[in-house]
Amino acid sequence: MTGSKPAENMLWGGRFTGGLDPLMITYNESIHFDRTTYAQDIRGSIAYARANSKIGILTPEEFAAIEKGFQQVLQEWEANTFVIKPGVDEDIHTANERRLGEIIGTGIAGKLHTGRSRNDQVATGMRLWLRDQLRILEEYLVSFLKVITARAKAEINPLMPGYTHLQRAQPIRWSHWLLSYGTAFSGDLERLRQLIPRVNKSPLGAGALVGNAFGIDREAIAKELGFDGIINNSMAAVADRDFIVETLQWASMLMIHISRWAEDLIIYSTAEFGFVRLADAYSTGSSLMPQKKNPDSLELLRGKSGRVFGTMTGLMMSVKGLPSTYNKDLQESWETMLDGVKTTSDSIQIATGVLSTMTIFPEKMLAALSPDMLATDLADYLVRKGVPFRETHHISGRVVALAEKEGMPMDKLSLLQLQGVDSRFGEDVMEVLGSYEASVEKRTVLGGTSKASVQEQIQRLEEMLD
């Protein structure tokens, strides 16, 4: 074929005598994205070479040369001087081994791959990289939760409406709202901590699919690389991408919570609410309207959630019908993993920045409360006098209807008017209608919105973070 490239330069080229379509070469290459794992690939190769030296495949001198050569390769990557050779460096593994051969000679470098396949090599690099990234994500999520708990502690007093169906429901503390998302994000942290050990299993030594023929010590390799153990079945080891799918599922759950949190704050930042104001660092203006201050950071967080969902579903569709062990379709897991992790990482950091710099306006939160939001408290008042709740609910509803009919707030109704609805209302009922603070302080149950309950929630969250 005109313009085709011989295959003999490829790691697998001995089988092929024809050439490759130039477009197929670029279509097949993964170096432009899997280069991200250059350090992990080198770490895995050094560990594998050490194991080969222990079983006599490499002499001590050959291993020393490989280790020293790889240190130079690593330095070149870190100094951004590593030169990728298009059409030759198909992936990060090919590139690193090719450069190693140039430094120490192909005779020694050519022994490195003995008993190893790119199938177990790529899976090892992905797991090492993802494990390291998930630990960073854990740190970011802990930092975000610390901001939530710190603000809840510092801003425990302000009262605001709680909403159901986006309709004002009952009074709550602003701190209680913060901790409602703190609870969701702490669940995400718990799931992340459960996920990391499942990612942190070594496939190295599984070969292409049947295992290593030279009796290499897989557990020693796993220990050197900081894995928690090995994947026991060699076929499963090279085929498994569940660890990436599960990571993206975890990230999608987290992004659902970030998206909902962002949506609340977008609403609360509008002029109609005015509960919060974003810092200039996380807002933009309008190209036409000078007065505008747009919550672009929150809108992007809301939008990026869809991107993460997309990477998850895309990968699941790619792997759902594959036959056993390695298939090239699995290369699709690279870009979804890289993009999903970066998007999630950036989103947690942006959310942390937004919350740590945001201003709240307690007076506007308080002004948004209205006496009709104490209707449940009015029903509870009669319950404490021995009236069944189903009856008190109906009575309280009649009081709400009376206030609407008279065109006045519930707390402005006279005792005579209230007793006209039900004679069991006493003079002390005016205390119920006169205090939002008293309403929230009645919610002393664990998880409630009273100050003591909120403080207990903060303590539990702080213990989890510590």
pLDDT in tens, 357-382: 999 999 999 999 999 999 999 999 99
Q: Give the pLDDT score at 288.
A: 56
Same-domain pairing of 135 and 244 = yes
Tell the burial category of 384 from Cβ atoms under 10 Å away from its Cβ (0-12, 13-18, 19+): exposed
* 434-465 pLDDT tens trace: 899 999 999 999 999 999 999 999 999 999 99
Q: Give the pLDDT score at 289.
A: 66
Same-domain pairing of 288 and 145 = yes
**Residue 129 pLDDT level (bands cut at 50, 70, 90):** very high
Q: Give the pLDDT score at 149.
A: 98
Same-domain pairing of 89 and 131 = no
- Rounded to whole angstroms, the Cα distance separating 405 from 421 reads 13
Same-domain pairing of 405 and 270 = no
pTM summary value: 0.91
* 167-209 pLDDT tens trace: 999 999 999 999 999 999 999 999 999 999 999 999 999 999 9
* 80-101 pLDDT tens trace: 999 999 889 999 999 999 999 9
State both tokens at 186: 């702490």
80 φ/ψ sector (left φ>0, alpha ψ -120 to 50, else beta):
left
Same-domain pairing of 165 and 59 = no
Q: Give the pLDDT score at 293.
A: 82
Q: Give the pLDDT score at 143.
A: 98
Sign of the alpha-carbon dihedral angle for 323, 325, 328, 333: positive
Q: What is the CATH number of the domain that holds 213?
A: 1.20.200.10
Q: Is the pLDDT of residue 3 over 50?
A: no
Same-domain pairing of 167 and 245 = yes
SS (H, E, C) 245-312: HHHHHHHHHHHHHHHHHHHHHHHHCCCCCCCEECCHHHCECCCCCCCCCECHHHHHHHHHHHHHHHHH
- Rounded to whole angstroms, the Cα distance separating 232 from 10 reads 30
The residue out of 349, 367, 385 marking a domain boundary is: 367
19 forms beta bridges with 6
**Residue 6 pLDDT level (bands cut at 50, 70, 90):** very low
Catalytic residues: 165, 286
122-131, 168-177, 196-205, 408-417: segment of lowest average pLDDT: 408-417
Rounded to an integer, the average pLDDT of 219-238 is: 98
Query: What is the domain extent for residue 257?
Result: 118-367
Number of domains forming the structure of the chain: 3
Q: Is the pLDDT of residue 71 over 70?
A: yes
Q: What is the CATH number of the domain that holds 53?
A: 1.10.275.10
The residue out of 71, 92, 109 marking a domain boundary is: 109
Mean pLDDT for all residues in the chain = 93
* 266-284 pLDDT tens trace: 999 999 999 999 999 999 8
What is the percent of the chain with per-residue pLDDT over 90, rounded to a whole number? Answer: 86
Same-domain pairing of 352 and 407 = no
Rounded to whole angstroms, the maximal C-alpha distance in the chain is 102
Q: Give the pLDDT score at 275.
A: 98
In 3D space, the residue among 264, 278, 249, 450 whose CA is nearest the CA of residue 356 turns out to be 278
Q: Which residue has the higher pLDDT, 285 or 110?
A: 110
Q: Is the pLDDT of residue 418 over 70?
A: yes
Same-domain pairing of 126 and 87 = no
Same-domain pairing of 302 and 386 = no
Same-domain pairing of 146 and 274 = yes
122-136, 242-256, 288-302, 390-404: segment of lowest average pLDDT: 288-302
**Residue 21 pLDDT level (bands cut at 50, 70, 90):** confident
**Residue 2 pLDDT level (bands cut at 50, 70, 90):** very low
23-32, 349-358, 420-429: segment of lowest average pLDDT: 23-32
Same-domain pairing of 92 and 194 = no
Same-domain pairing of 360 and 381 = no
Q: Give the pLDDT score at 462.
A: 96
Q: What is the CATH number of the domain that holds 422?
A: 1.10.40.30
Q: Give the pLDDT score at 217.
A: 98
Q: Give the pLDDT score at 4.
A: 45
Q: Give the pLDDT score at 29.
A: 78
* 303-322 pLDDT tens trace: 999 999 999 999 999 999 99
The residue out of 326, 352, 367 marking a domain boundary is: 367
